[in-house]
Amino acid sequence: MQLQDILYSQGFGTRRVCAGLIQQGLVQVYTENNAEAPETIAQAAMEFVADGLRFRVQGVDWPYHEKAYVMLNKPTATECSQKPSTYPSIYTLLPSPLRLRPQKAAVQGVQAVGRLDQDTTGLLLLTDDGKFIHRMSSPRHHVPKVYEVTTKHALDERQVQRLLEGVVLDDDPKPVRAAACEAVDTHHLRLTLTEGKYHQVKRMLAAVGNRVEALHRSQIGGLRLPDDLAPGQWRWLSPADLESIQHGA
């Protein structure tokens, strides 16, 4: 694949812009002979094997990914929307190449897999793989999601039991049950859900006579939010991460 096409596929702008970056000497490529010191490439049409390629654009290293899969530690007071109404968008936390990857199957750049409320923090997945988004978001697949809930009132065993047995929300007569529920502390509940109804955790806690003071998603499938990923930071998902998500589903 030509280097300008590789950069284009990774979201560095139009082919003309990508060619310009290369011709200006702003793109270096890591090769087998130069695994530590990348080589500056001046020819936009020079061809490389894309899979496994590492390159540097304007001083920033990038690995080639046919499809992008990333995790973000969503901070509070941010919205999972391209057009936020009150708070900054989570997409402003990502570098522009992730936001500008070419459109694939009606997906422009990476998109959040589901949403977290503006005051909810924690693990959020983003990708430009439409099939992955559908698979992870579909209620038929029952992907478990673990939430750390800080409650206003002290928890008791009856509340935990009711959440496990199921509570009725005002928009559905069918009871909604927690897949798992544990009172970690007097005001800390660890709740596992396999559905994704609107404000579900907050409404479930209200149904048992309590209230959510803070909400944090710590795990999706078998993938836990890394302790060293600070709020607002992102990282690529590894093949092992992707397998872990599916394994926990």
Domain harbouring 133, CATH code: 3.30.70.580
Residue 249 lies in a domain: no
List the beta strands (DSSP E) in the chain. Answer: 27-29, 39-40, 54-57, 60-63, 69-74, 111-112, 120-127, 145-151, 167-169, 172-176, 180-185, 188-193, 212-220, 223-224, 234-236
Same domain, 27 and 129: no
What's the confidence (pLDDT) of residue 246?
A: 79
Q: Which of 18, 44, 63 is the last residue of a domain?
A: 63
Task: Compute the distance between CA of residue 60 and CA of residue 55 in angstroms, rounded to an integer.
Answer: 8
112 plus 174 within the same structural domain: no
The pLDDT of residue 107 is 65
pLDDT of residue 122: 98
Q: Are 176 and 160 in a shared domain?
A: yes
Tokens found for residue 179: 């897949």
* Token pair 């422009």: residue: 108
Question: 36 and 52 in one domain?
Answer: yes
Residue ranges making up the domain that contains 75: 69-138+229-237
88 plus 153 within the same structural domain = no
Predicted pLDDT at 103: 77
Q: Is the pTM of this model over 0.85?
A: yes
Do 134 and 13 fall within a single domain? Answer: no
Instruction: Please tell me the total count of domains within the chain.
Output: 3
Catalytic residue, from 5, 117, 119, 156: name it: 117
Residue 109's φ and ψ, nearest 5 degrees, are 70, -175
Per-residue pLDDT of the chain (249 residues; tens, 9 = 90+): 999 999 999 999 999 999 999 999 999 999 887 778 899 999 999 999 999 999 999 999 999 999 999 999 999 999 999 999 999 999 999 999 999 999 765 667 999 999 999 999 999 999 999 899 988 887 777 899 999 999 999 999 999 999 999 999 987 788 999 999 999 999 999 999 998 888 999 999 999 999 999 999 999 999 999 999 999 999 999 999 999 997 654
For residue 120, being part of any structural domain is answered with yes
Q: Judge contact between 197 and 206, C-beta under 8 A.
A: no
Question: Would 245 be classed as within a structural domain?
Answer: no
**CATH number reported for the structural domain that contains residue 153 in this entry:** 3.30.70.1560
- Write down which residue in 12, 42, 63 finishes a domain: 63
Does residue 125 sit in the same domain as residue 95? yes
197 in the same domain as 155: yes
Q: Is residue 185 part of a domain?
A: yes
In this structure, the answer to whether residues 83 and 200 fall within a common structural domain is: no
Of 43, 63, 83, the residue that ends a domain is 63
**Which of the 8 DSSP states describes residue 47?**
B
Same domain, 210 and 151: yes
CA dist 110 and 126 (Å) reads 6
Are 149 and 211 found together in one domain?
yes
Structure tokens at 146: 């673990």
pLDDT on residue 213: 98
Asked if residue 247 is part of any domain, the answer here is no
Q: Does residue 112 sit in the same domain as residue 233? A: yes
Active site residue 156: no
- What CATH number corresponds to the domain at position 58? 3.10.290.10
